[in-house]
Structure 1
Amino acid sequence: MTDTDGTLRPARTDPPSRRPGLDARLLVERGAFRLDVALRAAPGDVIALLGPNGAGKTTALRALAGLEPLTDGHILLDGVELDRLAPEARPVGVVFQDYLLFPHLSALDNVAFGPRCRGASRARARAEAAGWLDRMGLSAHASAKPRRLSGGQAQRVALARALATRPRLLLLDEPLAALDARTRLDVRAQLRHHLAGFEAVAVLVTHDPLDAMVLADHLVVVEDGGIVQEGAPAAIARHPRTDYIAHLVGLNLYRGRADAHTVRLDGGTVITTSEELSGPVFVAFPPSAVTLHRERPTGSSARNLWRCEVAGLETHGDRIRAALTGGLPLAADLTTMAAAELNLHTGAEVWASVKATQTHAYPA
């Protein structure tokens, strides 16, 4: 970490808490990469670690599981120092991205594996496993080997296997990434149901904002090994603080200096907003708020108007998203019919307008 004058100093390890739940400071140094993330959660909370590839999300998850040693920091779970325990001794359940089910075991025996490792007899472990499969709606597939299971069924078996050990910390590494779009929708809803009934702490790693928004109570956004923003999903979606987050939630985001209703960006471009602020601010608006014109509009009520050039066009759901450069780099969404009527193509010159009432400014 650095002081305000830029001097490097050792990372401070905060005094650990003895409260129920998770209290972790994860500091991992590996070559040139440095992870420094603090996580706190009460029993019943679901935290999502969200960030681009290489941000450190999986490293954080591996550190919690004991698969990646800490350089410094601490991991307390219900007041117990997990960082002093071997991975197999930690009350932690893990659902891996590709599930890692034992291919030679049935669904029942996959789930029974955890209780058996914790000392349960074979009969008791299988009885507990049968109960978990029933909760997951998989009783009819108890004897099936993993190769006979669909992606959604395999995901639920992996979740049942993790929960069968009754962990106090559940770690989910991209649990929906291996599913196709149709299955993902159904399994996401089922996973949300199961997590809602989980009485301990769950930590989810994902790069998918929809998974994070639907499944988590609290988002922690990680970039380059550090936390850049955290909070409730709705708050982060409304007030993104980095370009990465703005892109995830589908907003145009700019930083500038406000003087009443006027925000001046670093390059000199001015945006008029409905909020009256002073000092450093962010300004955000959705691509759907942008109206495009081939000629400079006259009589428009929009307070913001910029001359731009189309840098690219792509299908975005049932709409066309135009990437614009020029007066203000931005994204604009429009219907296929509107794009055709405007004869949009790469290199086309357009005027982009946004009403002040459709912008949202907030302190930086």
Structure 2
Amino acid sequence: MTTPLPAAAPTERPEAEGLHAHLVVDRAPRAPAGRGETSAAPFQLDITLTARPGEVLALLGPNGAGKTTALRALAGLTPLTSGRLTLDGHTLEEPAARLRVPPEERPVGVVFQDYLLFPHLSALDNVAFGLRTRGVRRAAARAQAAVWLDRVGLADHAGARPRALSGGQAQRVALARALAPHPRLLLLDEPLAALDARTRLDVRTQLRRHLAAFDAVAVLVTHDPLDAMVLADRLTVIEDGRVVQQGAPADIARHPRSDYIARLVGLNLYRGTADGHEVRVDDTVVATADSEDGPVFVAFPPAAVTVHRSRPDTSARNLWPVTITGMELHGDQVRLDLSGDLRITADLTPAAVADLGLAEGNEVWAAVKATQTHAYPA
């Protein structure tokens, strides 16, 4: 189902402002650590990223897709095997030219997943540390750090050590530390992952406000689709070290191009061949609202699926016998996994499940109206 996009060759002209990166990183297989353990397979990241100043780009993908490798390459923590990385027209790394600016000399700020605050320093001195590494004198660095703590709403916690801070407060200190030296590239590695659900909602809102005011490029690495949709102007989806889809969050949510993306945004997704309003998926024909010809994706939400204990008398043009192979609570709905000619996900209310007396192993009928099924070119 996943069709990687080809990696673009690096341009040879001077790039405009912003980020222009062709990142190629070859990771050697890991040697087995003990008896019976197999070595990890070799992995190659090969992606092209671009972003304008003031733009937030989110890298989204499953575990092992290469998101963190990409972030480390941008930061200079993992060397490129080949490719080229430029920021605001300045080349930071190009292996073919034997050029590599070390991490500490790059105008890059990083907010790590675990924040990595220095436990022996106060919040003020943690923020000042980033400025001190850029050569700012101690008194001036602390004065600027105080301004940044005030911007993130933590002026009253300047003297607090990290252990006295909440998760949300620690995240804001880490963000202030990254922003204080005025980086031209801000990297955020799962910045909300360590927070509980309630704190995450508040901090996400605050982070969105700070990113909106940031005038350079921000790259957010996440596996959470909500973080990506809320915080980013543009998404790049990575699977197996390759870009499989990129674009505006709303466009990707409406037109996913891989199973992984479809699951994230909650859609049933299939690939087939269209002939007008009908799409053939293997041996099954799906009626759709859209008229297309040739290779297409066809999608519909789980909420569009109705489930019946016996063959219904319905106007729905899509009707299939299926078997319930899984049931789990999904928010305030019960999510059903249905197997048949197509694998289908359906969302029903708990009351509907109870009324129908549904259980795993039941043979039922699934129906979807053509008006709720959409096709778009593959």
Q: Please state which band the TM-score falls in when normalised by the shorter chain.
A: over 0.9
Return the match for 1:139 from 147, 151, 155. 155
Q: Give the TM-score of the pair, scaled to structure 2.
A: 0.92
Which shifted more, 42-51 or 10-19? 10-19
The match for 1:36 is 46
Q: Is the Cα–Cα contact under 8 Å of residues 16 and 89 in structure 2 kept in the other structure?
A: yes
The match for 2:349 is 335
Could you tell me which amino acid in structure 1 is paired with residue 67 of structure 2?
K
Q: Distance in 2 between matches of 1:11 and 1:72?
A: 13
The C-alpha deviation readout for 1:98-117, integer Å capped at 9, x for no partner, is 00000000000000001111
**CA shift at 1:257, angstroms?**
0.5
Could you tell me which amino acid in structure 2 is paired with residue 19 of structure 1?
A
The match for 1:257 is 273
Q: Distance in 1 between matches of 2:202 and 2:178?
A: 20
The match for 1:66 is 76
The match for 1:290 is 305
**Where do 5+ consecutive residues of structure 1 fail to align?**
1-9
Return the match for 1:231 from 240, 247, 255. 247
**CA shift at 1:17, angstroms?**
3.7
Change (3 A) 1:218 1:17: farther
Matched position secondary structure for 1:76: strand
**CA shift at 1:338, angstroms?**
0.2
Which shifted more, 14-23 or 195-204? 14-23
The match for 1:15 is 12
Could you tell me which amino acid in structure 2 is paired with residue 279 of structure 1?
G
Q: Distance in 1 between matches of 2:287 and 2:52?
A: 42
Matched position secondary structure for 1:82: strand
The match for 2:92 is 82
The match for 2:176 is 160
Count of residues paired in the alignment: 353
Q: Is the Cα–Cα contact under 8 Å of residues 16 and 74 in structure 1 kept in the other structure?
A: no
Could you tell me which amino acid in structure 2 is paired with residue 315 of structure 1?
L
The C-alpha deviation readout for 1:293-338, integer Å capped at 9, x for no partner, is 001001x111100000000100100110001001321100010000
Change (3 A) 1:11 1:338: closer
The match for 1:280 is 295
% of aligned pairs identical? Answer: 71
Q: Give the TM-score of the pair, scaled to structure 1.
A: 0.96
Report runs of 4+ in structure 1 exceeding 4 Å deviation.
none
Q: Distance in 2 between matches of 1:13 and 1:216?
A: 24
Could you tell me which amino acid in structure 2 is paired with residue 319 of structure 1?
Q
Return the match for 1:101 from 99, 117, 135. 117
The C-alpha deviation readout for 1:186-214, integer Å capped at 9, x for no partner, is 10111000000000000000000000000
RMSD, aligned CA: 1.1
**CA shift at 1:15, angstroms?**
2.2
Matched position secondary structure for 2:299: strand
**CA shift at 1:16, angstroms?**
5.1
